[in-house]
Amino acid sequence: MRWIGQGVLEKRDHAVFYSCDRKQRLLGVGFVVEKNFKHLVMDFRAISTRICTLRLKGKFYSYTIINVHAPTEVSTEEEKESFCDLLQKTHEECPSYDVKIVVGDMNAQIGKEEVYCPTIGKHSLHESTNDNDYRLIQFPALNNMVIGSTMFPHKNIHKSTWTALDRLFESQIGHMVIDTRHMLDHTGEEMWVPMII
């Protein structure tokens, strides 16, 4: 989203919760919630132009969804560190009993290296990990989470989340990270978690 400011925009069929730059149309993150589900929204927090949270009431649990737009691979180390620190702080401020889900443009290409299992799955679009990947892998590893977008088998054509303008290159840089305890049902079997990027 490249809007100005932050807040909630009410439309006839949906509401847009957004967190953008206050002066320029640069960056910005947000959520679009259908009107039928708006009554489930418990809280919205605009953290920065790269992070916002939405808390939803569920049947058995409440859900805190953290929407992010991470710095790119060519960003400075300071930008990357600042983003990671703010993401960790935002996660720590979420209610501990909520199901916590991090979604968005992580600008990270997760590989398939066995050394990172079980934090990552075996079903990434990419074979090897880049610098932003290492940072993304550290976050769930520290917080007892997994990168759910690499856990389930899909055809490669369904894994990409970004395509170059010439359509010759595709990448999987949008991901979903979820608490490990919510990746398993009561039988210990993996349950399906929807991709909500």
Higher pLDDT, 119 or 28: 28
Q: Is the pLDDT of residue 23 over 80?
A: yes
Please tell me the predicted confidence (pLDDT) of residue 41.
Answer: 95
Higher pLDDT, 110 or 173: 110
What is the chain's alpha carbon radius of gyration, rounded to the nearest angstrom?
17
SS3 79: helix
Average pLDDT of the segment spanning 143-165: 59
Q: Is the pLDDT of residue 195 over 50?
A: no
- Separation between Cα atoms, residue 31 and residue 54, nearest integer Å: 8
Q: Compute the 3-state secondary structure of the chain and give helix, strand, coil in percent, each to the nearest 5.
A: 25, 30, 45
Tell me which of 3.40.47.10, 3.60.10.10, 1.10.1040.10, 3.30.720.110 is the CATH number of domain 58-182: 3.60.10.10
Q: What is the pTM of this model?
A: 0.74
Longest dimension (CA), the chain: 51
Contact 21, 50 (CB under 8 A): no
**For the packed helices 77-93 and 131-142, what is the interaxial angle rounded to 10 degrees?**
20
* Domain residue limits, the chain: 1-40, 58-182
Neighbours of 143 (CB within 10 A): 16
Q: Is the pLDDT of residue 31 over 50?
A: yes
Contact 180, 144 (CB under 8 A): yes
Q: Is the pLDDT of residue 12 over 80?
A: yes
| 72-108 pLDDT tens trace | 777 888 988 899 999 999 999 999 889 998 888 777 6
Task: Measure Cα distances from 168 to 84, 164, 165 in Å.
Answer: 31, 6, 8
